[in-house]
Amino acid sequence: MIVTSVPLINSDRLNRNIAQLAQIGKLPNGGVSRVAFTREDILARQLVQSWMIDAGMTVRIDAAANIIGTYAGKIADAGALATGSHIDTVPVAGHYDGVLGVLSGIEMVRVLHENNIVLDHPIEVIVFTDEECTVIGCKAMAGNTVNDPNYYRRNDETAIEVCLEKAGGDWSKIATAKRKPGEIAAFVELHVEQGGILENTGEAIAVVIGIVGQYRHTVTITGRPNHAGTTPMNKRKDALVAAAQVVLAVNKLGVETPGEQVATVGYLNVLPNAVNIVPAKVELKIDLRDLSQKHLDNLLSELKQQLIQIAEATKTEIVINQALHVLPTLAQAKILDAISQVCQQLNLSYSYLPSRAGHDAQEIGRFADMGMIFVPSRAGISHAEDEYTSPEQCSQGANVLLQTFLKLDRLYQA
């Protein structure tokens, strides 16, 4: 039971809004499809803006089509305390990923407004654009977009200029979405865990210590195609045999290296992919993640040494190229402390976890103090129709968010 002398969020209203938003893009078996810039995404954005206005916020849309709801503070030039997430989904999704963070932020402001509570700092609730694909919204705020619209072209070949215009943005002014230093004093994102650790430990809340970096590389292995029946084993340059050794080396790197890194080969393309031909070429993709940039760099260095050895042993050529280079973002210590103290005050059990998935907070943390709050995901399932976090768990996370903002308003002197 939560015991507190300050206002709490309206649990019924929060969960009713989550259910209502899930009606937009609803799939036959209960899931949701609300891919960014589709009709469903635009309708959802319109509904969320109306809720922001009803909660007492003014609303603007920046050039990256981010929706920014602002609840004014007492001190006009104080940096904002910001929260939010995304409402776009993967093609087949559940009700909570991203949505919980946005709607909890709106509910938090609504409760403050209803109780005539105005903080020293303004509060911003942000709906970031296209988190599930290009993450253009949060990257634009951080000033980290790629200056080439073709980079953001959709899979159906729709230009990003068209997409942003539909959502109220403007590619030609994308640079104006970058926030100035100090505009956001602190950003705290509430999110479902998308993993099973909290459920396994039975704890109500995870205080997120940081968001891991992601290093992705494409590895191309070139051998020699030849007849599978007539080519002796010791005369082969088998690209798939080399690829198998690379897969095992990556797995061994993740399992046996001291630390909490993860290392994955999740993509493999074999050419010519015929049963009676010695494989000539293999392309595979490697994903390395950890909370320490130094550790990631060391893992990559070790992997490159092993690739040289595998190439020599298999008489193949192995080339590795960087595909993605996302640096880790650590949570700010005083935000960690504030969330932890709130959990204690609300009698909610908690632990400290890294986020092994990317979030909008990762980019915002490049220019502002950042923190994250996780609530459990049943069976660790996300990006699926049976994603589930109970109404009680949603409400607990939203209450932690609200109380954290009250505490941060005092910690960050305007």
pLDDT average, residue stretch 131-137: 96
Residue 345 burial (CB < 10 Å; 0-12/13-18/19+)? middle
Question: How does pLDDT run across 23-35, given as a tens digit for each residue?
Answer: 999 999 999 999 9
Q: What is the mean pLDDT of the chain?
A: 96
Residue 52 burial (CB < 10 Å; 0-12/13-18/19+)? buried
pLDDT average, residue stretch 89-107: 98
* Contact in structure between 127 and 102 (CB atoms under 8 Å): yes
> How many Cα atoms are found within 13 Å in the side-chain-facing hemisphere of 321?
7
Distance CA 210, CA 326 (A): 13
| pLDDT for the residue 155 | 86
Domains and CATH numbers, the chain: 11-212+328-411 (3.40.630.10), 213-326 (3.30.70.360)
Measured CA angle at 119 (ends 115, 124), to 5 deg: 100
pLDDT band, residue 208 (cuts 50/70/90)? very high
Question: How does pLDDT run across 370-387, given as a tens digit for each residue?
Answer: 999 999 999 999 999 999
Helices 333-345 and 391-411, axial angle in degrees (round to 10): 130
Distance CA 276, CA 231 (A): 11
Pairing of β 369-375 and β 184-192: parallel
Distance CA 124, CA 17 (A): 19
* Contact in structure between 179 and 141 (CB atoms under 8 Å): yes
| pLDDT for the residue 5 | 59
Which tokens sit at 66? 């981010």
Question: How does pLDDT run across 338-369, given as a tens digit for each residue?
Answer: 999 999 999 999 999 999 999 999 999 999 99
Question: How does pLDDT run across 48-75, given as a tens digit for each residue?
Answer: 999 999 999 999 999 999 999 999 999 9
Question: How does pLDDT run across 140-169, given as a tens digit for each residue?
Answer: 999 999 999 999 999 899 999 999 999 999
| pLDDT for the residue 3 | 44
Residue 338 gets the label, from left (phi > 0), alpha (psi -120 to 50) or beta, of alpha
Question: How does pLDDT run across 259-297, given as a tens digit for each residue?
Answer: 999 999 999 999 999 999 999 999 999 999 999 999 999
* Contact in structure between 112 and 218 (CB atoms under 8 Å): no
Distance CA 203, CA 349 (A): 5
Q: Tell me which residue has tokens 């609504």.
A: 110
pLDDT band, residue 414 (cuts 50/70/90)? low
Residue 225 gets the label, from left (phi > 0), alpha (psi -120 to 50) or beta, of beta
* Contact in structure between 62 and 352 (CB atoms under 8 Å): no
